[in-house]
Structure 1
Amino acid sequence: MNIAVIPKGTTHEFWKSVHAGADSAGKELGVNILWKGPLQENDRAQQIGIVDQFVASNVSAIVLAPLDDTALQTPVRSASTKKIPVVIFDSALKGEAGKDYASLVATNNYKGGTLAGEALSKLLNGKGSVVLLRYQEGSASTQERENGFTDAIKKSPGITITVNNRYSGATVGEAKSASMQLIDKLKTADGIFCPNESSTFGMLLALRQNNLAGKVKFVGFDTSQPLLDALKKGEVNALVAQNPNKMGYESVKAAVSAARGEKVSTSIDTGVTVINPANLESSEVKTLLGGA
């Protein structure tokens, strides 16, 4: 049985953890994992092409993290027409799980954003100005995090979001450039939130270059070794962590069940945790980070 796994991109640590989880489920279930994703997390055309390619080659099931919640609907429909079950993971696709696709395996992204907002509000004692650097239009997972964050911040009337409509773009380089353009705002900001790995790291690089790292309260999303090192140094105050390994593992398990005609849960929540200096060395966080 061949299971195609299509991430949003292949460079971030997040996707490497997803790949490891998918591979371990593949070994456990005795199926082949065909891993292929676009190089850039903004290449919708390439991701659509990859889905179409796997549909044409008649794989047993497809596991997909859609780059865009609308643009990927058509290729997913093509898979359904050929009776190839699709499990959506990480980021939602417009449509209905159990009808338009088999299952959604994801972090509760709105909750993750809410936890980020609550963490930043606590760090700021409920007052100050905040910069939100959004990720990319059309990305459902990060939009939900941004919505959760802004809704949580609204509960602290003493906090104002001074930048709310700027996007980082798909790469660390683009995120650093976008952050550099906001440097005057960042110099007077009390807090910052970025909703994924590349936006968080790009912002960190811009803060370092301007001698602002550690001087402004900073909550990021996702974990990588450089971000965990920054957390230890006090340059980042909290990171909202997903469980990408579990996401890869559960997605493949659901896809294999769907391909075998078994009943699959339409929604699988893979959990979210706020990591801060106080719990970084805890056994729960160490297990989540896989010894990182």
Structure 2
Amino acid sequence: MKLLISKSFVGAIVLLSIVLILVGCERKSAGTSASAEGGSGSRKKVVGFSQMENNGPWRIAETKSMSDEAAKRGYELVATDAQTQTSKQFSDVEDMVARKVDAIFLAPREFEGLAGALAAAKQAKIPVFLIDREAAGTPGQDYVTFIGSNFIEEGQRAGEWTVKNTNGKAGIIILEGTAGSSVALDRNKGFLDAIKSSPGMKILASQPADFTRASGQKVMENLIQAHGKNITVVYTHNDEMALGAIQALKAAGMNPGKDVKVVSVDGQKSALEAIVAGDMNVTVECNPRFGPIAFDTYEKYLRGEKIPQKIIVPDKFFDSSNAAKFIDKSY
């Protein structure tokens, strides 16, 4: 009798152990699945993307890249459009902080003007990653890191090409991007640094055209009236302004790409097509597809890995020798 009870008791203990092991495996499996969704944790992570505007091919391609990558990795993305207003972008970031998103990707419209929003995110312990443009603050303190191109180097490459292909003598018009933005300041600095040792390179005028095709055309029309045939080079801080300038040059009976060299930055599809058509000479690539590297960086941050203060994305250089080859891969 005692032996029978002992065997039954042991059997019951074994059965209970098997049940507990199976339940534990199911919980472990469920935990693994949740961890894979949206980076880590038991719920889908919510991340914010504060875009400065969506009114041109470059910005649209950037927003799509962020959206596509978020969906691919299982994140919920809260995307906003500041509509070229720094004040609205400030409010957009504050709204994300109030919503308690897990992280914020920020493409700043201007270098200054967002310190308060960054401070609010910091106080809420929400990591901020600057995308494609820098903002005032200290990396590692006010934001995690900056992910983007080397804008000074882009300007330098454009300037070096210009000096070489004009034999160091040119009458130059510069169409600047958004006043006060880090990208406009840096692309200007790089270009001016590259030409400063060539006294024959004369800046006839340098005016903002706000990174848009319409503004580029309008500003260029006014500058043609002021400087006419003295213009032999147009350097623009982005392709949209370059394409507007080309229209103004053609309307004035000037010959862009030949009599007037057109040098730009971005590498969008319409610019590569303009190079193939002979209307533009060169454009330095600034790749807008930040999604993969942005989310890679965030997930490294979640794992506790050390994040560098700047993450620089390498860019190509397009001219008549290779533009046609990359048109199908461009945005």
Does TM-score exceed 0.5, indicating one fold? yes
Question: 1:18-68: CA deviations, max 9, x gaps?
Answer: 2233234324432122222223x3x11121121111111111100011111
- Residues 219-230 of structure 1: pairs in structure 2 closer than 5 A: 219-230=263-274
1:232 aligns with 2:271: no
Question: 1:191-241: CA deviations, max 9, x gaps?
Answer: 110002332222122122223233301101113332222111111100111
- Residues 136-285 of structure 1: pairs in structure 2 closer than 5 A: 136-164=178-206, 166-184=207-225, 185-212=227-254, 213-214=256-257, 215-245=259-289, 247-258=290-301, 261-282=304-325, 285=326
Q: CA deviation at 1:259?
A: 5.0
What residue in structure 2 maps to residue 44 of structure 1?
86
**Greater RCO (Cα-Cα under 8 Å, separation 6 or more):** 1
What residue in structure 2 maps to residue 62 of structure 1?
104
Q: CA deviation at 1:291?
A: 5.3
Query: Amino acid of the residue matched to residue 219 of structure 2?
Result: A
1:25 aligns with 2:69: yes
C-alpha separation in 2, matches of 1:170 and 1:130: 18
2:133 aligned to which of 72, 91, 98: 91
Give the secondary-structure state (helix, strand or coil) at the position aligned to 1:150: helix
C-alpha separation in 1, matches of 2:324 and 2:214: 30
**Alignment root-mean-square deviation, CA:** 1.9
Which consecutive unaligned segments of at least 5 residues does structure 2 have? 1-44
1:105 aligns with 2:147: yes
C-alpha separation in 2, matches of 1:21 and 1:137: 26
Give the secondary-structure state (helix, strand or coil) at the position aligned to 2:329: coil
Bigger mean CA deviation after superposition, 230-239 or 204-213: 204-213
**Against the structure 1 CA distance between its residues 91 and 105, is the aligned structure 2 distance closer, same or farther, given a 3 Å change threshold?**
same
- Give the helix-richer structure, 1 or 2: 2
**Against the structure 1 CA distance between its residues 223 and 107, is the aligned structure 2 distance closer, same or farther, given a 3 Å change threshold?**
same
C-alpha separation in 1, matches of 2:81 and 2:295: 16
> Percent of aligned pairs with the same residue?
25
Which has the greater radius of gyration?
2
Bigger mean CA deviation after superposition, 221-230 or 43-52: 221-230
Q: CA deviation at 1:170?
A: 4.7
C-alpha separation in 2, matches of 1:10 and 1:256: 26
1:290 aligns with 2:329: yes
Query: Amino acid of the residue matched to residue 176 of structure 1?
Result: Q
C-alpha separation in 2, matches of 1:200 and 1:46: 28
Query: Amino acid of the residue matched to residue 112 of structure 1?
Result: E
Query: Amino acid of the residue matched to residue 172 of structure 2?
Result: V
Query: Amino acid of the residue matched to residue 296 of structure 2?
Result: K
Report if the CA contact (8 A) 2:269-2:330 is conserved: no
Give the secondary-structure state (helix, strand or coil) at the position aligned to 1:182: helix
**Normalised TM-score (structure 2):** 0.80
What residue in structure 2 maps to residue 8 of structure 1?
52
**Against the structure 1 CA distance between its residues 259 and 45, is the aligned structure 2 distance closer, same or farther, given a 3 Å change threshold?**
farther
Report if the CA contact (8 A) 1:241-1:272 is conserved: yes
**Against the structure 1 CA distance between its residues 237 and 170, is the aligned structure 2 distance closer, same or farther, given a 3 Å change threshold?**
closer
What residue in structure 1 maps to residue 18 of structure 2?
none
**Against the structure 1 CA distance between its residues 162 and 291, is the aligned structure 2 distance closer, same or farther, given a 3 Å change threshold?**
closer
Query: Amino acid of the residue matched to residue 78 of structure 2?
Result: L
Q: CA deviation at 1:175?
A: 2.2
What residue in structure 2 maps to residue 124 of structure 1?
166
What residue in structure 1 maps to residue 116 of structure 2?
74
Give the secondary-structure state (helix, strand or coil) at the position aligned to 2:323: coil
Which consecutive unaligned segments of at least 5 residues does structure 1 have? none
What residue in structure 2 maps to residue 34 of structure 1?
78
**Against the structure 1 CA distance between its residues 76 and 241, is the aligned structure 2 distance closer, same or farther, given a 3 Å change threshold?**
same
C-alpha separation in 1, matches of 2:190 and 2:211: 21
Q: CA deviation at 1:94?
A: 1.4
